[in-house]
Amino acid sequence: MLNALKARFRQGYRTGRFPDGEPELPDRFRGRPELAAPRGPAGCSRCVELCPTGAVNRSGNELSIDTGRCLFCNACAEACPAGAIQFSREYRMSTFHRDRLVADGSPFELEKQQNRELLRCCRNSLKIRQVSAGGCGACELDFNVLNTLAWDMGRFGIQVVASPRHADCLLITGPVTANMRLALEKTYAALPRPAWVIACGCCAISGGLYADSPETAAGVEELLHPDLYVPGCPPHPTTLLDGLLRLMGRR
């Protein structure tokens, strides 16, 4: 016991300062896209053609990027001759409404939780049942990171539970494959009411690269209505934790 206490004292405090301080993001981190004027030469559609998920759209001289479809691969920014597309360092990208995931150059305003029932039930404690509905494992891994010492989401009352009957919400990753559809429906049905849904990652939000496959449901919305959308491929742990805290009304 004494040796354990000595080791703890020697190691010091290892949990990150977020959300009280700014997170330490890697150099290669790509956050919410920023669209600048001018929007490129008239008729140029390189970014639209290169986007593997159809996230980039152009109407006339107006560009928009659907972060719910975006892989954050940076191909559009690299291809734009005018430098109209840049990926910022803004990690706060989670929204409560699907249409707010679209970046069109207008200012992005962070949402505050207004659902009184959710605030009453989950402001101090959020129990999550996570379902991988055909995901590749990336979103799942970055969600699991939040349970480690570096993030310790338990200090906010956020906990992963084994049974949906103990959960407040369902966190879904993956494009919802045909093999997982029934399992997902049964898991949601087992949640006590009221219950909420989190779509984590572009696959869960829109189907991602698999949106056009007959073997997927192209995201959660074909089955359930998400109460929180967390974009990314995968979402950075900071983006995900920020979204969970906003869902709870604590940001």
Contact 139, 235 (CB under 8 A): yes
- The answer to whether residue 240 scores a pLDDT higher than 90 is yes
- The answer to whether residue 38 scores a pLDDT higher than 60 is no
Q: Which CATH code of 3.65.10.10, 3.40.50.300, 3.40.50.12280, 3.40.225.10 fits the domain covering 116-247?
A: 3.40.50.12280
Query: What is residue 71's predicted lDDT score, i.e. its pLDDT?
Result: 96
- The answer to whether residue 42 scores a pLDDT higher than 80 is no
146-180 pLDDT, tens digit per residue, is 999 889 999 999 999 999 999 999 999 999 999 99
- The answer to whether residue 62 scores a pLDDT higher than 90 is no
Using CB atoms within 10 Å of the CB of residue 105, give its burial: 0 to 12 exposed, 13 to 18 middle, 19+ buried: middle
Q: Which residue has the tokens 């491929």?
A: 233
- The answer to whether residue 12 scores a pLDDT higher than 80 is no
